[in-house]
Amino acid sequence: MEQIIIRKGTKNDLVAAFARVEELAEYEKAAKAVTTSVKTYERDFEAGWFELLVAETANGENLGVMIYYNSFSTWKGRMLYLEDFVVAEKARRKGVGEKLWATLIEVAKQKECALIKWQVLDWNEPARLFYLKNGAELEPGWENGKLFL
C-alpha cells in the first residue's frame, strides 16, 4: 500500500465521510437506519457539532474516516466521543486504522481530554480485537440508551 496520510477533515471531505458511514451501516445490517444526509453533515460540521480525521493516499483516495466530538464525563472531565470509525474494506489490516487511532489519541491529548469513549457491537470481533490490542477496555455491564425525538 502506498503512503497513508492522516489529517483533520474539512467540509470537502464530508461526501466521502458520509459514504464511509453508509458502508458501515450496511456492514452492521442497518442501512435503512441512516436518516441523515450530506446536507446534514455540512450544516452540522460548519456549526462545530463534530470533527473528522481522514486517512488517504498521497493522491487523495479516501481510505477511512473517524467522526468524533467533544463531550464531558462528570467523573473524569473532558473527553472525546468517537461516533464512527470506518476503514475502507480494501485498506483494512494495512495500518490505516492504527494510524487513525494514534492520531485520535493525539487530538484527545491536545484537547486535554481524560478519555475517549465509543461503542462497538458485541458481534464485531475484528473491531473488538483491534481496540483490545490497542490498550482499550470494553465495559461489561453497560447498556446503551437512546430516545428518538
For residue 120 the three cell numbers come to 462497538
What is the maximum span of the chain, computed from C-alpha positions, in angstroms? 44
Asked whether the beta carbons of 119 and 102 are under 8 A apart, the reply is: no
Kind plus residue range of the DSSP H or E element containing 83:
strand 77-87
Asked whether the beta carbons of 94 and 57 are under 8 A apart, the reply is: no
Instruction: State the catalytic residue, choosing from 27, 69, 81, 131.
Output: 131
| The residue type at 7 | R
131 noted as active-site residue: yes
Asked whether the beta carbons of 8 and 59 are under 8 A apart, the reply is: no
Catalytic residue positions? 131
